[in-house]
Structure 1
């Protein structure tokens, strides 16, 4: 079974990330692999971890975490095989809180697949591009398919000033395509995440 974290990438009061992530979880929950029990989804909100500005004395690549909040965050991320990052675009970039949360860890991100759901006036595409650069450094395989949410087209402002995220069929198709790629890459990378188990499952010489 593939464990996928839907990561809420903003901590700002009044944020829309909860609404967008809710749509992602509900839509992804109808994906055939999820319905068949081949994949499971979990919302992971960085706001729940109260991570201060990076305060670990050693670079994350050494894995010598000193602080309780880092160890808790590391234990959470380590459980997953893949990620869907849900991020707004702030000034042509991802939120500082998301970059901070990512920078806390290293090995826990390695050899896993990820997709991006971005949102903003221009669909959050510039934030997505910045996030792709960061994922490359962490040995995360970010998939090509991308969901770009535009508030003008994908939110309903009828009953709420903040709006409700209600993307149409086109965005649902894009999300399912992204999930197909995330699942395929996650399966392919299993040999790197679990080398002993993968080696044990191969047939021996004839």
Structure 2
């Protein structure tokens, strides 16, 4: 009798917590695109729902268990997943402080798992994604090569501060990079999950 294996779980993490964020629009588009993925299960995780304080523990949880229950709750959530996609804003050439703090609140949970991104901004969130990749390496993650970038005229077309057009108007530009990123995510999720479980 064939055993049905549970699909690996991927968190789609919204990186910005500000009220005026653009993130909800591309996040909804991304979740629609992955809802019937044959090999991975995706769950939307919003940093707004975790009320994380600035990191204030005695040390990283790699060395000392965290004391703040909000940090512990976040660590438990991070641990549920086999990989991560970040809906990534760019603030002043870097990732939002809310996301950097979320990384800092955990170490163990991120280890040996892939990290990809749908990044956005006038420059496609490219500088923010480079910042994320540097942090991910220190957390022993596997940053994916491929990413989805919403930048330039496409960003200003769908951004609420621009034309505020629906995501469907730029979908054709994004489909190729989304397909490449998801294929890479499947490979690294399988490889790292198998290695962790061995």
Q: Secondary structure at the residue paired with 1:131?
A: helix
Partner of 2:195: 192
- 1:153 is aligned to 154
TM-score normalised by L of structure 1? 0.85
Match of 1:199 in 2: none
Q: Say whether 1:96 aligns with 2:97.
A: yes
Runs of 4+ off more than 3 Å: 154-158
1:56-95 superposed matches below 5 A: 56-95=57-96
Structure 1 gaps of 5+ residues are: 196-206
Deviation at 1:55, TM superposition (A): 1.9
2: CA distance, partners of 1:186 / 1:164: 33
Contact 2:116 2:185 in 1 (8 A): yes
Q: What is the distance in 1 between the residues matched to 2:104 and 2:165? A: 31
Residues 16-54 of structure 1: CA deviation (Å, up to 9, x unaligned): 111111111112235xxx1x3x31110000111000111
Residues paired across the two proteins, number = 189
2:52 corresponds in structure 1 to 51
Label 1:110 to 1:164 Cα distance change in 2 as closer, same or farther (>3 A).
farther
Counterparts in 2 of 1:190 and 1:25: CA distance versus 1, 3 Å? same
* Structure 2 SS opposite 1:108: helix
TM-score, normalization by structure 2: 0.89
After superposition, the Cα gap between the structure-2 partners of 1:149 and 1:56, relative to the gap in structure 1 and judged at 3 Å, is same
Q: CA RMSD in A?
A: 1.8
Asked whether the 8 Å contact 1:54–1:103 carries over to 2, the reply is yes
Q: SS at the partner of 1:91?
A: coil
Task: Identify, as 1 or 2, the structure richer in strand.
Answer: 1
Contact 1:119 1:151 in 2 (8 A): no
3-state SS of the aligned residue for 1:4?
Answer: strand
Structure 2 distance, partners of 1:134, 1:60, is 16
**Structure 2 gaps, min length 5:** 1-6
Other-structure match for 1:123: 124
Change (3 A) 1:124 1:194: same
SS in 2 for 1:13: coil
For 1:29, the equivalent position in structure 2 comes to: 35
